[in-house]
Structure 1
């Protein structure tokens, strides 16, 4: 095969790849931004190499895009994480401790970008592909585009156009699955859910962030 045809083939494949990426980005953005608020109960597992469920936690959350959320873990221990858009508060009742950090310090993490629907920011870091579209199921895969990464792979499962499962594989090979149930869309959550006042008697740690 001549260099000309090799070059033409590579160019064609690159154009197809770019088009698929753009289409996936547009579709993922459409799915993640169509609702201003999103709430659900969650079950979170770490998975062994064989796929067996290991560490298990449960809880519920509500978020109001673009940057406010209230995430509450109930088991195996209680924890509450609240963002008011300016600060993120992490409250550990068992430790009688609250940590406050700037919201900007966490707003660029991949899970936060996904839940907040910031797909444009995601697309600068990940190659986004739609790898399944069948019936009421759509699956997207996000692969990092640089070596500086916290995650090796992220998969998002949508059922009936609503996010229902996340699978995160970190740089150490640990896989975490988050399953969403009891989903509520555009429920106009109480604004008080996104404010936090440290209880009396707890230790307050002020984290300046990076």
Structure 2
């Protein structure tokens, strides 16, 4: 049981799981727009979205150790500002819901729920980067944004937290420009302990009408509810 619990924590990775991570989609950009402009358009245009995701968490290794990776996948939905939902389907059934006030994590197999105030746990995280603020300018108090060279068919932006003592070292945002406009393709997160969480996204839907119940969570009957 102990190993299973540790594996679940590893799968969820930084800041309570891909909390992380939420896609943003925009309209077509001017031909000369750089990658930071691209991200600004995401922030401006996308009010809601949903996509499938795959997350690969790589833990730092010591001399003589084999690199350890954990892969998970599922579905996520978001509605700005401040609401998102991750439904992990593999390898464990888990649900992560941010309702605007509380961040809920439900481990189905353990029948355990953890509840934390969003204001205390998100901060300068990928979740805040892409869901909390109304535009990119509002995030510049918490992040520095730097365009990176294009590679693998993507345009890249590096977001570095202003407060260097936090849990996140940097976030690389990979953006793909399609005929319909730009789309988020990758989030590559490096934390302060050397762990890497790589999220890739597919089957995006831009600005779908999401019912309010999507971001409502009620602990199941009999669940062990933990409020750190």
- What is aligned with 1:197? 218
CA shift in 2, pair 1:145/1:100, >3 Å? closer
Q: TM-score, normalised by structure 1?
A: 0.77
Give CA-to-partner distance per residue, 1:59-113, whole Å, 9 cap, x none.
1110000011111111111110112212221111111111222222234242111
Q: What is the CA distance between 1:27 and its match in structure 2?
A: 4.4
2:210 and 2:46 mapped to 1: Cα distance?
A: 13
Equivalent of residue 154 in structure 1, options 148, 155, 171: 171
Q: What is the CA distance between 1:48 and its match in structure 2?
A: 6.7
Q: Gapped runs of 5+ residues in structure 1? A: 1-22
Query: Per the alignment, in what secondary structure is the counterpart of residue 78 of structure 2?
Result: strand
Query: Per the alignment, in what secondary structure is the counterpart of residue 160 of structure 2?
Result: strand
Which structure has the larger Rg?
Answer: 1
Query: Per the alignment, in what secondary structure is the counterpart of residue 128 of structure 2?
Result: helix
2:108 and 2:41 mapped to 1: Cα distance?
A: 38
2:113 and 2:157 mapped to 1: Cα distance?
A: 35
Equivalent of residue 140 in structure 2, options 123, 142, 158: 123
Equivalent of residue 71 in structure 1, options 86, 95, 99: 86
Give CA-to-partner distance per residue, 1:164-183, whole Å, 9 cap, x none.
10001111222110000111
1:166 and 1:38 mapped to 2: Cα distance?
A: 16
CA shift in 2, pair 1:139/1:196, >3 Å? same
- What is aligned with 1:182? 203
Note if 1:89 corresponds to 2:104. yes
Q: Gapped runs of 5+ residues in structure 2? A: 1-33, 62-66
5 Å matches for 1:21-170?
27-47=38-58, 54-116=69-131, 118=133, 119-132=136-149, 137-160=154-177, 161-170=182-191
CA shift in 2, pair 1:34/1:173, >3 Å? same
The RMSD of aligned alpha carbons is 2.6
Asked whether the 8 Å contact 1:29–1:117 carries over to 2, the reply is: no
CA shift in 2, pair 1:83/1:149, >3 Å? closer
2:151 and 2:223 mapped to 1: Cα distance?
A: 50
- What is aligned with 2:6? none
CA shift in 2, pair 1:149/1:102, >3 Å? closer
Query: Per the alignment, in what secondary structure is the counterpart of residue 162 of structure 1?
Result: strand
CA shift in 2, pair 1:206/1:173, >3 Å? closer
CA shift in 2, pair 1:24/1:189, >3 Å? same
2:157 and 2:72 mapped to 1: Cα distance?
A: 24
